[in-house]
Amino acid sequence: MSSRELAVLGGKSLFDQPVPVGQLYFPEWEKYETAMRGIFDRQYYTNQGPLVCQLETRLQEFLNVRHAICVTNATIGLMMAADALGLHDKVITPAYTFIATAQSLSWAGVEPLFCDVDPLTHQIEPESVETLLKQYAGEVSGILAVNLWGDACQQVKLEYLAKKYGVKLYFDSAHSFGCEIDENPVGAAGDLEVFSFHATKVLSAAEGGCICTNDDELAAHLRNIRSSYGAGSFRAVLRTSNGRMSEAQAAVALLSLDAFQDIVARNERIFNSYREGLEGIPGLRLITPGAVSKTNYQYVVCDVDETEFGLTRDELQHVLSAENVLARRYFYPGLHRCVPYASQFPDASDRLPVTERLCGRVLQLPIGQVIDESDSREIAMIVRAAFDNAEKIRQKLRVSV
């Protein structure tokens, strides 16, 4: 691709329609129709219906975990988890994650204590966790770790720390459904794990999620918080909610689960074509999941080093946006700079140097059902052309500001 063709320099956009980053699985219409017809025939929309029950059983088998408790979405699941675990005072969690992670704690009346992440993998950094456990001894009731980017954090080290300091440990695994560590499915670590089945995730219920645990007591507690429907045994809980998944959500999730291996295989092909296309571009590093023995290839995440690449991450995003490629700045700003946390942690940026750096450098490219391998090859060529024409692009952007 020559510089003349870049849309930011006056060429035609690569795509006619905006291309989003997400997975956006849509089942075959006939299969969807059949599933919906079943809901109509049974005249049963929600309240732990047969499709939700079927989904829970299949997830338990797939994830090799005793309990998979389906919920409305992962945000609600994380809120329910914080309540069920009886968290109080402070909980350690990374600032480099989606806002829902920390907000679930705020909803539970718990203060998030932000720790830093690893500069290469972006996963929660156990050393940073231990520093906070020591500094706030007696005030920390838990660690909410995040398994990011279809990869996993250092779970064994975190389990050691949770035991040593006597705190709860649970995982926001919104990004890591279907991944494996040492051939074992992600989902059964710590006290519990929460997955997201949002439309942009590798397993989609359009909106949805599930909480996984091997702890029977905790599972019963969670089911009672979710609502009395399908709770099995009654437990007196301080707060109940409506975290139910509907039959329509479960129908999409079951079809998505049927197609799961194909979805991941497609992701893998697209990911590898990006890997080839982006290889050797100075200042552009593709984050490759390394802690898992199997990834879901859910995300294509790039770290842009302005000094070597010649453009900032934001300038590259501008170049891609002109091509109708809706690359996203996950996660920007860092949670320590978001309302309501910014005012509570005025010194957080000094304590979170890696998070600060990543928030200015990381860019997510499209993958999933919305594109194919030839699209990802073209997108990678645009990134390469952006590098080749960095100076010209900078001048153009300066003029148009």
Residues that bind ligand T4K (CB under 6 A): 20-22, 24, 73-75, 97-98, 100-101, 146, 172, 174-175, 196, 198-200, 209, 326, 330
Residue 253 beta carbon to ligand T4K: minimum distance, rounded to whole angstroms: 12
Residue 248 beta carbon to ligand T4K: minimum distance, rounded to whole angstroms: 14
Between residues 54 and 200, which has the closer beta carbon with respect to ligand T4K? Answer: 200
Residue found by looking up tokens 């945000």 in the block: 75
Between residues 367 and 380, which has the closer beta carbon with respect to ligand T4K? Answer: 367
Phi, psi of 217 (to 5 degrees): -60, -45
Residue 147 beta carbon to ligand T4K: minimum distance, rounded to whole angstroms: 8
Residue 286 beta carbon to ligand T4K: minimum distance, rounded to whole angstroms: 18
Q: By the 8 A CB rule, do 374 and 135 touch?
A: no
Token pair of 395 as six digits: 């001048």
The residues, ordered by sequence, that sit 6+ positions from 258 with a Cβ below 8 Å of its Cβ are none
Between residues 9 and 146, which has the closer beta carbon with respect to ligand T4K? Answer: 146
Residue 317 beta carbon to ligand T4K: minimum distance, rounded to whole angstroms: 12
Long-range pairs, 260-267, Cβ under 8 A, ≥24? 260/178, 260/202, 260/203, 263/23, 263/25, 263/202, 263/203, 263/368, 263/369, 264/178, 264/202, 264/296, 264/297, 266/368, 266/369, 267/23, 267/202, 267/296, 267/297, 267/298, 267/367, 267/368
CA atoms within 13 A on the CB side of 336: 24
Residue 76 beta carbon to ligand T4K: minimum distance, rounded to whole angstroms: 7
Between residues 7 and 199, which has the closer beta carbon with respect to ligand T4K? Answer: 199
Between residues 131 and 200, which has the closer beta carbon with respect to ligand T4K? Answer: 200
User: Which among 266, 205, 217, 234 is positioned nearest to 59, based on CA atoms?
Assistant: 205
Between residues 21 and 158, which has the closer beta carbon with respect to ligand T4K? Answer: 21
| Cross-strand pairs, 90 | 111, 140
